[in-house]
Amino acid sequence: MQATNETISIDHDKELDLHLERQGVSDEKLINHPVGLFLLFFTEMWERFSYYGMRALLVLFLVSEISKGGWHWTRPEALSLYGWYTGLVYLTPIVGGLIADKLTGYRKAIILGALIMTLGHASMAMEGFSANFFYLGLILMMVGNGLFKPNISSMVGKLYPLTSDKKHAAYTIFYMGINSGAFLGILMCGYVGEKVGWHWGFGLAGIFMFFGMLQFYFGQKIFGTIGAKIDNTNKKVEVVDEIPKKVANQRLLVIFILSIFTVFFWMVFEQAGGSMTIFAKDYTLRNLDGNASSIFKWADAALTIFPLLAVSIVLFGLAKKIFAKYPATVIFTAISFVIIWGLAIWKVQKEFNSVNTEVPASWFGILNSFFIVSLAPFFSKLWETKFNPSGPVKFGLGLIFVGLGFAGLAYGGSDIPRGATVAQVSMFWLVFAYFFHTVGELCVSPVGLSYVSQLSPVKYVGLMFGVWFTCTAIGNYLAGATGGLIDKISSTYSISTFFLIFTIIPVVAGLIMFALSPLLRKWMHGVH
């Protein structure tokens, strides 16, 4: 049995090598994957650093007092802008993917998108000169994200043969890059923005987007012909689906129903950057002293240093493999790491030397990425055991888990008087909420994308991904619109009632999904 497994593994490795050779891709490998994957890993890491770093500051900046450098918007105004921004961010990739397919190819689209986002961050950093720079920055961020996001994900898949058993592992590694960037971006940009100045936080996000662009630009030849020009390989032969029309239509209906339910999920989940950030800022006990202060300082130091150490080790491994051929890429990536390490050491030292410990309101945003990295391996193994429910059941579980997170916030805020604008609720309830929200996300987000690709007839794959991301965009917009009701509901009823609404909606949706599960499984026709 062992010899057979080794033979299969060798065959898959040989298949990958032949694929890379045909595409003119570097055959250097790191942990048995093409080195190009890790160049994409670091490029995506810095892009997510910039996106989530800026997003962590957006609502906080808008609602902060003018004396503290903010714009002193009302909460509904700030959350409305947040909703429009995060919603449109998920719509522009549909257009960006078409532009890459028809005009530019993946690589040019990635570089152009990164450049536009860098300019967007620079524009936001100049908001002190004119409010127009801030709005221009948001527009540039949305446009740049549309060109960047779908095409770098496509590049990952193109590195491997269609049937490669390594592709799933490759996307897992890439997903770690996404969450590493989100984690570090929220941690660093949030800290600098709140403790030093908002424009410094916005500008910091742009610096690392710039380095991400440079490292990709100077290392792009590592990909051979992949993404260098418009990909017409799938357009030469018209693909005819062999499955019966009734089966195809029912599978499409399943995708549509799952997509509709994601609207409820993202409407609730994306309160993280909106009403949950408001709750962290104004209703959470963030000034710590005594043992609580010491515990937080050490925990924050560990959360700052160890993830950075882990990705630095990956960079060192990549540098050994590609420095001789691509020195500029390694140098620019190394410079970015020198800067981030300097910031990390400064941040930790500053916190340990401070007399008073105030947890930044943006800090809680790192918990989602931390829990994802911690829990993803467990869920990956869980889905491989006998306990591997169908997609609709996983969706139902995800919706209920995200509702449970808000049940914790509703309970934690139950003693806050009606109409109160400040309170001192324990940090525990935000940690509780982010934990259950992450469990819910792991049941919905990666699972949903997988089912869209499996259930879609070949000629409708692009269209159905468009439907999926459109529903995600609608959910993000509604997150801002409903989050903006926090003042109205808390003044009329209570903030506990506000969070209870976000408990009931996903739980009811999850129960409906459970009820629909037998029918949806039937319509999936064998796709588990």
The answer to whether the CB of 443 falls within 8 A of the CB of 373 is: no
Q: Where in the chain is the domain with CATH 1.20.1250.20?
A: 24-230+289-358, 239-286+364-527
Distance of alpha carbon 91 from alpha carbon 85, whole angstroms: 10
Amino acid at the residue 373: V
pLDDT exceeds 60 at position 235: no
- The Cα 410–Cα 416 span in angstroms is 10
Neighbouring-strand partners of residue 359: none
| Helix 461-483 with 428-455: angle, nearest 10 deg | 160
Return the percentage of the chain with pLDDT > 70, whole number: 94
Which one, of 396, 479, 407, 477, lies nearest residue 436 by Cα? 407
Cα–Cα dist 190/198, whole Å:
9
- What is the gyration radius of the CA atoms in the chain, in angstroms? 23
- Residues 403-446: pLDDT tens digits? 999 999 999 999 999 988 889 999 999 999 999 999 999 888 87
Q: Which CATH superfamily is domain 239-286+364-527 in?
A: MFS general substrate transporter like domains (1.20.1250.20)
**What is the pairing mode between strands 287-288 and 33-34?**
unpaired
Cβ-based neighbour number of residue 232 at 10 Å: 8
Take residue 200 and report the two structure tokens written for it.
């410094």
Whether residue 487 contacts residue 74, with contact meaning beta carbons closer than 8 Å, is answered with yes
Give the pLDDT band (50/70/90) at residue 527.
confident
How many other CB atoms sit within 10 Å of the CB of residue 60?
24
CA atoms of 224 and 53, how far apart (whole Å): 32
Confidence bin at 230 (pLDDT 50/70/90): low
* Residue 446, pLDDT score: 76
Least confident window among 64-68, 373-377, 449-453: 449-453
Mean pLDDT of 30-53: 91
Residue 319: name the closest of 328, 308, 330, 310 by CA: 330
Pair of tokens at residue 173: 């590694």
pLDDT recorded at residue 264: 96
pLDDT at 237 over 50: no
Tokens encoding 506: 């996903």
Cβ-proximal residues to 128 (8 Å cutoff; 6+ apart), any chain: 69, 199
Structure confidence at residue 177 as a pLDDT band (50, 70, 90): confident
Q: How far apart are CA 152 and CA 173, in angstroms?
A: 14
* pLDDT above 70 (res 163): no
User: For all residues of the chain together, what is the average pLDDT?
Assistant: 88
Grouping H, G, I as helix, E, B as strand and the rest as coil, residue 126 is coil
CB burial of residue 210 (10 Å; 0-12, 13-18, 19+) = buried
Residues 136, 103, 448, 149: is their CA dihedral positive or negative?
negative
What is the length of the chain?
Answer: 528
Longest Cα–Cα distance of the chain, Å, equals: 71
User: What secondary structure letter does DSSP report for 417?
Assistant: P
Contact 160, 16 (CB under 8 A): yes
Q: What are the structure tokens assigned to 215, written together?
A: 């490292």
Q: Judge: domain 24-230+289-358, CATH 3.40.190.10.
A: no
Higher pLDDT, 459 or 184: 184
Q: Three-class SS string for 18-58? A: HHHHHHCCCCCEECCEEHHHHHHHHHHHHHHHHHHHHHHHH
Assess whether pLDDT exceeds 70 at residue 64. Answer: yes
Q: Give dist(CA 156, CA 69) in Å, integer.
A: 41
Helix and strand tally (H, E) in the chain?
Answer: 18, 4
* Strands (DSSP E) found in 35-147: none
In the chain the first and final C-alpha atoms are separated, in Å, by 27
Whether 91 and 169 have beta carbons less than 8 Å apart is answered as no
